[in-house]
Structure 1
Amino acid sequence: MNPSRVDSLIDLTYGLLIALAVGLILLAEGPIGLAFGIGVLVSYIVHVVWKMARFDPDWMTTTVKETVQETVDETVGETVEQQVDETVKETVGETVEATVDEAVGESVEATVDEAVGETVEKSVEAAVDETVEKKVGETVERSVEETVEEKAEQKVEETVEEKVDETVEEKVDEAVEEKVDEKTEDEEASST
């Protein structure tokens, strides 16, 4: 006998059994038709699996492999993305804070010391107390603003990425205002 004829006859027989099962389910009221129909469908599924394994032995492993690959890709992708996001946020936050504190603190302190020192010396030698107070206030404010803005922008642009620009500007402004107020008060206190 030819194997393809046997397969065709088996398929035809299963088709007739399925039709008979549907007929029994519709005509026979009760569990007999339903049980026969379920039995035929289960045996047909077993037959299809057997046939697929015979003609294409790799179909089951290929299907399982594809399913596992998709699941692994999704799970690993999501997990890695979450870990990277958390790590980047923590690292960038800590690095930006440390860098801004260090860079701005040093720059502001050095610039304010230099600018205030020179201005105070020149003004004290040349004018009276009233003139000294006016000149120091104006000169310190102009010099500090220009110098601090230039230094802070250079340091911040070198060390901070685009995502943290707003944070850096806030910290620089706060640090500059505090240092300028402290230095100005110190210089005014020491000059009087």
Structure 2
Amino acid sequence: MDPRRVDAIIDLGYGALIFVSIGLIVSVGTLVGVAFGLGVLISYALHVAWKMARFDPDWMTQAVEETVEETVGEQVEQVERTVEQTVGEKLEETVEETVGEQVDAVQEQIETVDRRIDRRPREDEIEDLLEDTVTDETEEADG
């Protein structure tokens, strides 16, 4: 027999059993019909699982793999975003601190140079001193 025909006949048989359970609910009583119907549905679920495993033995493995890949992929993306955000914030803080310290150091050096420049005599003061020195030496030589 062709396996597909057997599967089709089995599926029709389960359908007929479901109609029998409906008939039992109507004629005998709700409790008996519901119990029979639940038994039919549970056995049908087992049949479908068996059929899927027989036609494609890797179907359950593939389904689990796909689910795991999706879940792990999403979690990895979340972790990457969190790490990028944390590292970016820390890097930004570190850069700001380093640049701030370097700017402060340069500013201190500029202030030191400015103070040194202010302590040195200006060109016109040096010329005046030279003129006074030359004048004093000339007077001493004359006198």
**Could you state the TM-score of these two structures normalised by the residue count of structure 1?**
0.55
Number of equivalences? 124
- Within 5 Å, give how 1:11-50 maps onto structure 2: 11-25=11-25, 29-50=29-50
- Within 5 Å, give how 1:81-100 maps onto structure 2: 81-100=81-100
Q: Percent identity?
A: 40
2:78 alignment counterpart? 78
What's the CA shift string for 1:36-58, capped at 9, x where partnerless? 11111111111111111111112
- Within 5 Å, give how 1:1-192 maps onto structure 2: 1-25=1-25, 29-101=29-101, 103-119=102-118, 121=120
CA distance in 2, matches of 1:35, 1:14: 15
What's the CA shift string for 1:42-101, capped at 9, x where partnerless? 111111111111111121111111001011111122123213322332233133213321
Structure 2: runs of 5 or more not aligned:
126-143
After superposition, the CA RMSD in angstroms is 2.4
Contact 1:25 / 1:37 at 8 angstroms: preserved in 2? no
CA distance in 2, matches of 1:26, 1:74: 50
2:67 aligned partner, one-letter code: T
1:91 aligned partner, one-letter code: L
What's the CA shift string for 1:101-155, capped at 9, x where partnerless? 1x112211122222344256467x76xxxxxxxxxxxxxxxxxxxxxxxxxxxxx
1:104 aligned partner, one-letter code: V
Structure 1's consecutive aligned runs of 4 or more residues displaced over 4 angstroms after TM superposition are 25-29, 119-123
Structure 1: runs of 5 or more not aligned:
127-192
In 2 relative to 1, CA 77–27 (structure 1 residues): closer, same or farther, beyond 3 Å?
A: farther
CA distance in 2, matches of 1:37, 1:18: 6
Larger Rg: 2
Contact 2:24 / 2:30 at 8 angstroms: preserved in 1? no
Higher relative contact order (CA 8 A, sep 6+): 1
CA distance in 2, matches of 1:64, 1:27: 44
